[in-house]
Structure 1
Amino acid sequence: MDKILIHGGHPLSGSIKVSGSKNSSLPILAATLLTREPCIVHRVPDLSDTHYMLQILIHLGAQVERASGTVTVAAENVQSVAPYDVVRKMRASVCVLGPLLGRCKEATVSMPGGCVIGDRPIDLHLKGFEALGAAVRVEGGNIKVFAPKLRGAVINLRGKFGPTVLGTDNVMMAAVLAEGTTVIEGAAQEPEVVDLANFLNKMGAKIEGAGTRRLIIEGVKELHGVEHDIIPDRIEAGTFLVAGAIAGKEVTVK
């Protein structure tokens, strides 16, 4: 088992720049599948989960370039089946279901790592897709969703554990290309959901209410490429602030 050894007794000082949010970057990278045009995403953190997400995008047919914290994704041609070997490593890989369903009208994703229906709220994702008109099958460890046409609906995503962030992201990404208006009640309010909504709106989506419990999404026919900066990671920022408060002389978190 890997260990981290910390030799204490030294005060902290200086300044440090906070990385981009992992929980924002993963669904935003997945959302690049919604358009054929290139998307440029800045401040993508250098983490194993973002590496896995980029591998999934490549396996789905996207062209991916990475230079430092900037990622360019061109998903001109994509397939609808995500690779098991990569998906199983990361729970958030399920968030490619929404954009694939929205664009391709079908998607197949293996049950992601750490997720079991009934344990984590994957059932709420599927409930949202069904409300939009998709058929859902869970068989052989795979989640399959398909719909000749997606139509707007009123969807309540609040489960027994509260609102679902990934579920809100997933249904929102599918709904932006659905016909008509979708209303998501019980939506997650986290800043990462707001960041995704802002990214989608830059692409040409029509989403109102991000950051509240009620999202209103007016479907559009297509989305276009954009350039976007990921918001800072609030968990990382909080960690540095606490460390600075406890053991710091003068610590600046940027």
Structure 2
Amino acid sequence: MKFGVVVFPGSNCDRDMQDALSVDLQQEVIMLWHKSEDLSAFTKDDCIVLPGGFSYGDYLRCGAIARFSPIMQKVIEFAHAGGKVLGVCNGFQILCESGLLPGALLRNEKQKFICKNLYLKPDGFYKETIMGDEAVYQEVYKIPIAHGEGRYHADEKVLDELEANGQIIFRYCNEKGEVVPEANPNGSVRNIAGICNKNRNVFGMMPHPERACSAALGNEDGKKILTSLLMAAQPVL
């Protein structure tokens, strides 16, 4: 699989993502400037990544300006044609702003920027795609977060559809894997930490798996997430 990592003005996790994919996962990575309109090097078996950071300084609203970058129209077309797209943190915000994922990311419940390690538990997406691999589904992942606007919100109809369609990727949980209010860092509805679209080729999550991909960092749970997430998508696409 080949990866394209988009670089927006204000991106600050693009090189982290490049390093995690190329060094830790041993995958080919092409860096893509936001003004580029050429994705001809990628097929639907590849993946475009929208990294974390503060695209365009987070002016107006997180992801709202990046949504209009020249490359985003091509990313939207790529996604609609079946190509895989992954948005992490600010990338998740951009995916919601562009309409590739439902809902929105609001300011954290306590109105403070949060930067810490926490725990995630796989949810419906994994049940639907990993075909009964309980070892993966039951695993609890320790992953860093770093955001000020990470509170996922959608109306009840959308939330019920996400649940029914198995579109929730991860929920915030405690170290034991219990999805409880106390484990929710930002007030996200239903403890949602990440979702996918109905076709299961567009993924968004607030936590940063690319920051937990190396033994040198003392944590390789992010490597497990990136590997299982993209492998799980293969049969669906």
Q: TM-score, normalised by structure 2?
A: 0.32
Of the two, which has the highest radius of gyration?
1
TM value normalised by structure 1? 0.30
* More relative contact order, 1 or 2 (CA 8 Å, 6+ apart): 1
